[in-house]
Amino acid sequence: MQFTDFWIGKIQADRLPESLDTPGLIKYLTVFATEEQCFQVMYQWHETSLKRTSEKWFPRQELIKLLEDKIHKKGMTPTLRYCLELLDSSEKRTVTAAEDRINIRIDNLVNKGPDLLISRRDPLGIYILNIIEGFNKETQQKEWIDLLRHCLNAGTGSRPTQNWLKKARQLTARLDNKQLSQHLHQWISYCRTILTERHEGIKGTPDFDVDYLSPINHDLLKALIWLIPLIKGTSLYDLAEDYACWAFKRGKETGPLSSRTGLAVTYVFTFLPFDSALSRILAIRKSVQDKAAQKSIDKVLLLLAEKNNISSTELEESLVPTFGVKSGGIIETTIGKHVLSCQLIFPGKSPVTWKLNGAAVDTSRSLKQNKAFREFQAQVRNVESQLAAYAAKIESFFLQQRSWSFAHWEKYYLQHPLLGLLSSRLIWTFNDGNKKTECILLNGCLTDVQGNVVNMMPETIVTLWHPHGASTRVMNAWKKFLRLHQIEQPFEQVHRSIFAPNTEELTDGIFSGRFSSLLLDRGKFTVASVRKGWNVRKKVPHNWRFLPYIELTDWDIRVNFLADMKEEDTILTDNISFYKQGVPLPLKEVPPVIFSEIILHIDSFVKMANTELYNR
């Protein structure tokens, strides 16, 4: 008893908990103390911690393990039950996951329920436990308990480990496939109902502060969703997709109620064939407004591409949305009996036409002031801006060694409702290994400059045609072709300016000074260069405080355009230099297309950013 008084005295010391030897006290309670002494110490420990500091100094984790060992050795006694009550925090409105696990362990010890750490603080936990307890066969109950225990050990990560999946596959194989699918369907449907109620403002249990699910059951549901690909012939994917849209939906005052389970759904879709998985994941992402959730879904898309040996650029091409554009560049919406239709024209404003029963009609001023009409106009302007952005992206292919098989190019460029508007007005080079042919789309067929229809094999290599190296005769023929068929290109291709190193530059050898000693507006220059994919370093060695540069990774070439910041937000330009693997590259060795495009870039920067001082 004297040791008990000693420890109680230590607990009551003014410097609690700093002066308390917690491991020593736990060891004393484990080895030497009786049940009554254990209760006395725990009671004083709990009360003193609560009054003088906070409950965090009351080591529930160590004490529950101590009591479990005593109960397993001697059985449950009234004194040990009182000790468990000191650890129980189940009546608190808010608990941590660790506290909740201790409460579950206490409940299992007292009520002898299934040995599962499933929380009873939300409806899902109670629903699952009632089903498990209702199994008649002990073997069946054990198999389900093993699977659920494995799911409870899945952790807090966004995707399972391979070892976890391997064991989960073994555990699911022991269960009846139909029954497993049925229960997963019930639980996911039940959670979807809870989500819809929360979004409709219907609160959960009044006893606890739980928005949707407790942390333990949240991770449990995530792991249960991970089981979907392991079920043979599963029809759960449609339900999971619908659930994910609700899980990612933003609350009135909060973000998504369950991003972790929504991400679990997108992860299981990566087990489907690529096209099916991509369409499902994109359908979910389209409904997501939270930026962090969008980034997480993008990581799942990269995982999907990696699983299917698809490069990030190919994935990016497959993700280009249609923005509601139909084949032929048409956008339509219905307002009452009228149909608003717009034929996209690039470049420039696209006219909006009112139709009634398929025929164009005049419109009244009141109809044009309709809210739906203004929203449609805003949609058209947004699509036009997207069209301009993708035109700039395709133009950047001149600085990249981009090529596609004809089958891939036809699917993601020519047949795409939005990109097809651009691709069909550009000239492309088709290489079948024996012959190169330049063609453009005319009347739905690929046509060469002579007007001949050319058929392509699926494996034919496609690249964006650049006019460098083309003869004057060919250039004039293409210009005549475009005028004859009234084809307006989204950017200058046939009429593109071509630049080559001049004699002075070839004499200097490794740099071009054709844009040196120009005083430019720094803000305008920065905007123009960044728009073209350039970067700007504002502090670099050798006194150059402003260095625009571009990395051409496909060519392993870096281009620097030296400049120095001056007063009044201006810069003074200097030389253009090319580097390959960090070594200066002689201008005669720079690929002609690269040199021409870089000069064209800088020429556009200078025209946009020139100053009055320069114009004098």
Reported as a pLDDT band with limits 50, 70 and 90, residue 397 is: very high
Residues making up the chain, counted from first to last: 616
- What tokens does 171 get? 């555990």
- Do 240 and 386 share a domain, yes or no? no
Q: What is the pLDDT of residues 585-604, one digit of tens each?
A: 999 999 999 999 999 999 99
Q: Is residue 89 part of a domain?
A: yes
Task: Return the pLDDT at 359.
Answer: 62
Reported as a pLDDT band with limits 50, 70 and 90, residue 614 is: very low
Task: Return the pLDDT at 361.
Answer: 58
User: What single DSSP character describes residue 411?
Assistant: I
d(CA 140, CA 177): 13
d(CA 224, CA 244): 14
Residues paired with residue 489 on neighbouring β-strands, in sequence order: none
Helix axis angle for 78-87 and 60-74, nearest 10°, is: 160
- Do 512 and 540 share a domain, yes or no? yes
Average pLDDT score, the chain:
84
CB-based contacts of 386-392 (< 8 A; 24+ apart in sequence):
386/323, 386/418, 387/344, 387/346, 387/418, 387/421, 387/422, 387/490, 388/346, 388/347, 390/320, 390/418, 390/419, 390/422, 391/346, 391/422, 391/490, 391/491, 392/491, 392/531
Q: Is residue 552 part of a domain?
A: yes
Reported as a pLDDT band with limits 50, 70 and 90, residue 1 is: very low
- Do 79 and 163 share a domain, yes or no? no
The gap from C-alpha 535 to its chain's centroid, in whole angstroms, comes to 24
- Do 229 and 346 share a domain, yes or no? no
- Do 338 and 299 share a domain, yes or no? no
Q: Are 482 and 475 in contact (CB under 8 A)?
A: no
Task: Return the pLDDT at 114.
Answer: 74
Q: What is the pLDDT of residues 45-80, one digit of tens each?
A: 777 776 655 666 778 888 889 888 888 888 888 888
Instruction: Verify cis geometry, omega within 30 degrees of 0, for the bond prior to 347.
Output: yes
Q: Is residue 407 part of a domain?
A: no
Q: What is the pLDDT of residues 87-127, one digit of tens each?
A: 888 777 777 888 888 888 888 888 777 778 888 888 888 89
Among 56-65, 195-204, 297-306, 508-517, top mean pLDDT goes to 297-306
- Do 307 and 346 share a domain, yes or no? no
d(CA 348, CA 370): 24
- What tokens does 542 get? 């050798």
CB-based contacts of 411-415 (< 8 A; 24+ apart in sequence):
412/317, 412/318, 412/320, 413/317, 414/441
Least confident of 102-111, 177-186, 525-534: 102-111
pLDDT of residue 195 exceeding 70, the answer is yes
Q: Is residue 236 part of a domain?
A: yes
- DSSP string across 337-352: TEEEEEE--SSSPPPE
Region 27-47: mean pLDDT is 81
Least confident of 283-292, 307-316, 340-349: 340-349
Task: Return the pLDDT at 346.
Answer: 65
- Do 97 and 160 share a domain, yes or no? no
Domain range for 209 is 144-318
Q: Is residue 26 part of a domain?
A: yes
Total domain count, the chain: 4
Q: Which amino acid is at 431?
A: N
Task: Return the pLDDT at 10.
Answer: 61
pLDDT of residue 193 exceeding 60, the answer is yes
- Do 109 and 158 share a domain, yes or no? no
Q: Is residue 497 part of a domain?
A: no
Q: Is residue 471 part of a domain?
A: no
Last residue of a domain, one of 318, 345, 361: 318
This prediction's pTM: 0.72
Q: Which amino acid is at 568?
A: E
- Do 92 and 189 share a domain, yes or no? no
Task: List, in order, residues 6 or more apart from 105 with CB less than 8 Å away.
Answer: 64, 68, 117
Q: Which amino acid is at 439?
A: C
Last residue of a domain, one of 291, 318, 345: 318
Neighbours of 338 (CB within 10 A): 18
Q: What is the pLDDT of residues 203-262, one digit of tens each?
A: 656 555 667 888 889 999 999 999 999 998 778 999 999 999 999 988 766 788 899 999
Q: What is the pLDDT of residues 130-159, one digit of tens each?
A: 888 888 777 788 899 999 999 999 988 889
Instruction: Read off the CATH number of the domain in which 561 is found.
Output: 3.30.310
Task: Return the pLDDT at 612.
Answer: 57
- Do 314 and 385 share a domain, yes or no? no
Neighbours of 467 (CB within 10 A): 18
- Do 152 and 193 share a domain, yes or no? yes
- Do 203 and 307 share a domain, yes or no? yes
Last residue of a domain, one of 367, 390, 413: 390
Q: Is residue 201 part of a domain?
A: yes
pLDDT of residue 330 exceeding 70, the answer is yes
- What tokens does 177 get? 């496939």
